[in-house]
Structures are given as structure tokens and as C-alpha cells.
Structure 1
């Protein structure tokens, strides 16, 4: 895809958003906003430390990011800690608008990554500065610049009092984005094209209140196109194309798991043979997910949940468990409850309603919504 193609894609989206804005303005001016139209707008979900006791403010802010980062106050004081989130669920993407006082951050250590969230984050600074240390290198970003992190990698950093937009991009969005972002992870986009992406994301954030669910496929396509055109890794960051190769291998492995999920022979050795790589390479690919078998089991549990939640699927629980690779019913029940918080029979008796991570965000405590959205994005 050429830069011209991307800019054309983005221009079409701009026109679509302008049409929506003009139509909305006309309805509002006439005082005849359709009820169904208003209800279909994309909701946003907010969380703020304002109003909490000072002793609880930073703890609540830290908990809201617990699925992806560990946070530490830079200089704990008796003054308020100010933090505010505004979240949008964009289906295949998540966008967050963040305002925060100064803090330090670090990736989650391996011992807590049993059910890890592993996405790329593209952070656009609106004010303030971020410094990140990763793989023996440090890089900073200021207003208008974009930083790219990999939540499955190892890094630390510090952020000044700042405002920012964070786009969460799942690893399975597409092979092309996986290769592109894999090449540029842990870097700052300070090129002209990087600034173009920054401007694009700011404009999207400004226009989200005018969008509906029907607009999300077009928005996802335009954003993916902008990523492919605007993300160009710096020359000193490319190391023999190792990043793109690893990401292509990971996507092939995920596709293999999806296609053969219910095959009783599916396991780490089968995946390794199909990819034609060493055990060490396979381990490194899936280390952020807790290993190959943990990833396979989690996908199978998701499949089992979907079956149990489907009121039309009347197979017995033990039949679903066996078809999803669990020969021991007690083991299946324990793993299922660890993953979802409910037993298989509780899900079946509830008569459907979807996987817990897909519950209406209105039902979630406000400080847990970011973690829920990121796990939902993980699929």
C-alpha cells in the first residue's frame, strides 16, 4: 500500500466523519435528534481519581492499569494525585485519553503474566514528556510525537505530568501491522509521517462522539492503513529484520492454533514442526503468553465458554469439555473457573450472555474497565 493510497483512505474517512457531524448538527439545531440515532453513538467510559480520599487516589489509578503496567509514584506527597481516563471500545482497537500526574511505570514481571495482556501501544503525547528504557536503550517523546511500546516486552520509564492518547493495537489485527509495529516497537516516531499519524489520531479522538457502531469497520481500516504508511522504524532499530520475522511466525502459529483448536494432537511439538523452528524459538515466541500450551488452553476455554453460553447448544458439559481437549471433568471445571470466575454449570444455567470479558462496560467498576477492554481485545 502506497502513501497515496493511505492518504486517500484517510480522506474518505474524513469526509464520512464530516457528513456525520453536519447531519448531527442539523438534527440538534432542529431539536429533532432521532432517539435511535442518539442511542447508537459510541459510548465513552470515564474514570477519575477526583473525589477519592488522598490515601486511595494513587492506589485506584495504579489498579486501573494493573492489566498492563506497574505504576509507582515519583514523589509521594500529601497533595492530590490527579488522573483521568476516557476510554472508547472500537471493536478491533481501543483508544484511551489519559491525563496523569508524574509517575514511573514498568512492564509486568514474568511471575504475574499468567494471563497476560500483550498488545502494541501507540502513545501520542499532547503535553508533557515520556522517557522509556528498553533493551539497553532509552528514548523520549514530547508533544506531537508517538511512542510505540510492546506490552509483552520488558521496559521501564517515567512520565511527567502529561496528557496523551493511547491506541491499543492487538497483535492479530493483520500480518502487515504485526510486521510494521514489530519493527518499530520501543521507538519514537518523530518523522513527518509520524507527525501525520499523531494528527490523525487526535482528529479521530475529537470526532468519536459523532460515530456509531456502523462506522467502526471503516475507522479500523483507515487506522490500519495509516499505521502501515506512517510507521517507519529508524535505521538503528532494525536488526536483520528479526522483529518482522518473529511477528510473522507468531501470526502463523496463532492461525494454526485457531484452525486446529479441537484437534487432540494439537500441542507445542505439532506447532513447532508446522512452523519449522526450534523449541527455543517457539518458547521465545509464546513466552509473553505463558507458553504455547497455556495459550492453546486459553483458546480452548474461550471456545467452551461460547458453547456453554449458546442456548441453542444442548450438548452436555462433559461432551463440550472433551471436544475442547479436556479428558478430566474436574480439571476442566477448575481451569474454567480460574479463567472466567464462573463454573461451567453457572454459565450454562445463566442461559447465555457472552464471555465475561465481553460484559457491558457499564456493569464494570470504573477502575477495572481498561483491563476488561484490553483482555477483550486479546480475544
Structure 2
């Protein structure tokens, strides 16, 4: 168990056969031919958020497989969102071949076939039942193997990264809100209607606030640090920026506090 009050488990090993047995509940895995003689390591921290599971993992290179026989046998009806902090993937599905790189989110449907070759990576993954998102996203069939693009996809990636970094320090009781926010962010990313974006506003604003704070903290000594520069970098209006920093006493107050500190 980690220091978090949210239910969590930790697993690590350097034996690929041990890892194969552990991950077998979801994927069949193989060593890629070019990586067969390299040392292997796996370290996974998993957090339970209601019906969701979020994992933060550092993994050696491998091939993940969900064959048609495997799909029929285990009947898993979940989606997986993968955010690659480092590494990437090259996947084969019935719809064709897909590639992705670090910083992107990929979407996998575990009720479908898959072969994915992945190098060493640092990966955040969110496993969620289809029932949590099928009402928000009616066209789920086309998501398998995809990597959403656009501004909302970038915000979704930042949210998953922020969630994984915060989970070890959050307390029990936050799980329902966190799971709901993640579903709302996913819906706003993949189907950016007015209703979906409005429902995802709390999660979106958390990400925008984090983006603004990181920019401020990285440019405290710059004479060019001002309201307009922050708005341009974060991609928001002055009004939205001021609202984001209301709990901080205002954006200028936050800047002054950082400089004094």
C-alpha cells in the first residue's frame, strides 16, 4: 500500500515470466524479438476509483496481444485510456494500423482484437467500464486504437497526468468525484458539444489553472510575465484567467507570492 488513503496496490518485478502471469488478466504479452536479451523491469502503482482503475507504470519493451479467442474467452467490456509520458506504440487492429508518441492519449476497446508493440515506457492508464461512458459517447465503436487530437485531447492528457501525480496524496472519499471528472473530460475531448464541455468545466479549469501556474513559476524572473502573456500561453481570455485564480486571491497576488517565496 502507498501513503494514499485511496485504495492502492504496488507491483514490481524484473522477471518477464512473473510479469506475464500478472498482466494475463487483461493481456497476453510477449518479448519483442529485438528485446529478447535486454533486462526487463516492471513497476506499477494501481489506484481504485470506484469502478475505475488508474495505473502509473514504468515498463520494459513488450508486445501486448488480445486475440479473437482471448476476447471471446474473457468477455472484458472495458476501455483503456493510455497516456505515454515516455515511449509510444504501434498497434494493429481490425480497422488498420495506428502509431502514437509520448504526450498523446490512446483509446483501446478491450472487447476488440489488438496487437501493440511498445518500447520502454512510462505510462499512465485508466481502465473504465463501457457503461460509464456509453451514454455520453454513442459512437464508441470507432474509438478503438485511436489517438484523439486537438486542444481538448491535450487537456485530457494533462488531466490524466495531473490525476496520476495527485492520487498518492489524496484521501478516501474523493474517488467518485475524480472518476466522474475523468469521464466528463473524455466526453468533452471526443465529443466536444456544448453540454459535454460544460459538464467537464471543473476538470478543464483544473488543468488550465495548472498550466498557468507552471508558466508563471517558470518565468518569475522574466520582464515579459504579464496577464496577456499568460492568457496567450494558456489559451484563455482575461476574464477566464481571473476566474481561475479567484481562490488564489487573484493572478497578480499569486505572482507576487511566488516571487516573495
TM-score bin, normalised by smaller chain:
0.5 to 0.7
Gap change, CA 1:39 and 1:68, over 3 Å in 2: closer
**1:62 aligned partner:** 20
Computing the radius of gyration from Cα coordinates, the structure with the larger value is: 1
- Structure 1 contact 149–185 (Cα < 8 Å) conserved: yes
Aligned to 1:222, the other structure's residue is in SS state helix
Structure 2 distance, partners of 1:136, 1:224, is: 25
**Quick check: 1:73 aligned with 2:31?**
yes
**Bigger mean CA deviation after superposition, 106-115 or 188-197:** 106-115
Structure 2 distance, partners of 1:106, 1:222, is: 30
Q: Paired residue for 2:157, among 173, 198, 202? A: 198
Aligned to 1:125, the other structure's residue is in SS state strand
Q: Report the alpha carbon displacement of residue 178 of structure 1 after superposing the two structures with TM.
A: 4.9
**Quick check: 1:45 aligned with 2:29?**
no
Let me know the Cα RMSD of the aligned residues.
2.3
Gap change, CA 1:127 and 1:40, over 3 Å in 2: closer
- Structure 1 contact 129–141 (Cα < 8 Å) conserved: yes
Structure 2 distance, partners of 1:199, 1:205, is: 10
Residues 233-271 of structure 1: CA distance to partner in whole angstroms, max 9, x if unpaired? 9xxxxxxxxxxxxxxxxxxxxxxxxxxxxxxxxxxxxxx
Structure 1 distance, partners of 2:47, 2:3, is: 15
Structure 1 distance, partners of 2:171, 2:65, is: 35
Q: Report the alpha carbon displacement of residue 113 of structure 1 after superposing the two structures with TM.
A: 3.7
Q: Paired residue for 2:134, among 175, 178, 189? A: 175
- Structure 1 contact 104–157 (Cα < 8 Å) conserved: yes
Q: Report the alpha carbon displacement of residue 179 of structure 1 after superposing the two structures with TM.
A: 2.1
Structure 2 distance, partners of 1:115, 1:209, is: 31
Q: Report the alpha carbon displacement of residue 180 of structure 1 after superposing the two structures with TM.
A: 5.0
Aligned pairs, how many?
190
Query: TM-score, with normalisation over the residues of structure 1?
Result: 0.47
**1:117 aligned partner:** 76
Gap change, CA 1:108 and 1:177, over 3 Å in 2: farther
**Quick check: 1:85 aligned with 2:49?**
no
Query: Which protein has the bigger helix share?
Result: 1
**1:249 aligned partner:** none
Aligned to 1:152, the other structure's residue is in SS state coil
Q: Report the alpha carbon displacement of residue 44 of structure 1 after superposing the two structures with TM.
A: 2.2
Structure 1 distance, partners of 2:50, 2:4, is: 14
Residues 285-336 of structure 1: CA distance to partner in whole angstroms, max 9, x if unpaired? xxxxxxxxxxxxxxxxxxxxxxxxxxxxxxxxxxxxxxxxxxxxxxxxxxxx
- Structure 1 contact 197–226 (Cα < 8 Å) conserved: yes
Structure 2 distance, partners of 1:46, 1:151, is: 23
Structure 2 distance, partners of 1:60, 1:93, is: 24
Gap change, CA 1:211 and 1:189, over 3 Å in 2: same
* Unpaired runs of at least 5, structure 2: 193-261
Q: Report the alpha carbon displacement of residue 96 of structure 1 after superposing the two structures with TM.
A: 1.0
**Bigger mean CA deviation after superposition, 159-168 or 204-213:** 204-213
Structure 2 distance, partners of 1:112, 1:226, is: 28
Structure 2 distance, partners of 1:204, 1:142, is: 20
**2:232 aligned partner:** none
Q: Report the alpha carbon displacement of residue 189 of structure 1 after superposing the two structures with TM.
A: 1.5
